[in-house]
Amino acid sequence: MTDLPETPASSSHDPQVALPPEFGVTPASAPEVPVVPDHSTFVAGPDGVANAAPMSATSDAVATTAAATTQAPTWVYPTWTPEEKSEPQSTKKQRTSSTKAAVLAGVLAGIIAGAGSAALVLNYNAGSSNTITLPTSTSGASARPDGSIADIAKRVLPTVVSIDVRSASAAGTGSGFVIKSDATQSYILTNNHVATGAGAGSTIKVVFQDETSIAATVVGTDDSYDLAVLKVAKGNLPVAVLGNSDNVVVGDTTIAIGSPLGLTGTVTSGIVSALNRPVTAGEQASSFINAIQTDAAINPGNSGGPLVNAQGQVIGINSAIATTSSSSIGGQSGSIGLGFAIPINKARSVAEQLINTGKSFHPIIGVSVDMNYTDGGAKVSDLTAGGPADKAGIKVGDVITKVDGHSIADGTELIVRIRAHSVGDTVTLTLSNGTDVKVVTGSSASQ
226 catalytic per annotation: yes
Please report the beta strands in 167-252, taking only residues with DSSP state E, as ranges in sequence order. Answer: 171-181, 186-190, 203-207, 213-222, 227-232
109: which residues sit within 8 A by CB, 6+ positions away? Answer: none
Q: Which alpha helices (H) appear in 142-223, and where do they start and end?
A: 149-156, 192-195
362 catalytic per annotation: no
**Which residue among the candidates 164, 169, 193, 222 is catalytic per the annotation?**
193
**Which residue among the candidates 164, 223, 226, 398 is catalytic per the annotation?**
226
- Which amino acid would we find at residue 110? G
As a whole number of Å, the end-to-end CA separation of the chain is 13
193 catalytic per annotation: yes
> Rounded to 5 degrees, what are φ and ψ at 346?
-70, -40
Rounded CA separation 30/28 (Å) = 7
396: which residues sit within 8 A by CB, 6+ positions away? Answer: 380, 381, 382, 383
Rounded CA separation 255/267 (Å) = 7
Task: Please give the C-alpha separations between residue 239 and each of 150, 156, 179, 312, in angstroms, as whole numbers.
Answer: 18, 9, 5, 12
Strand partners, 174: 163
Q: Which alpha helices (H) appear in 127-172, and where do they start and end?
A: 149-156
% helix, strand, coil for the chain, step of 5 = 20, 30, 50
Rounded CA separation 443/430 (Å) = 21
**Which residue among the candidates 162, 169, 202, 303 is catalytic per the annotation?**
303
Rounded CA separation 344/359 (Å) = 18
Is 97 exposed, middle or buried (CB count within 10 Å of its CB: 0-12, 13-18, 19+)?
exposed
Question: Is 393 within 8 Å of 339 (Cβ atoms)?
Answer: no
Secondary structure element (H or E) that encloses residue 143, with its range: none
- Which amino acid would we find at residue 236? N
Question: Is 188 within 8 Å of 176 (Cβ atoms)?
Answer: yes
Known catalytic residues are 193, 226, 303
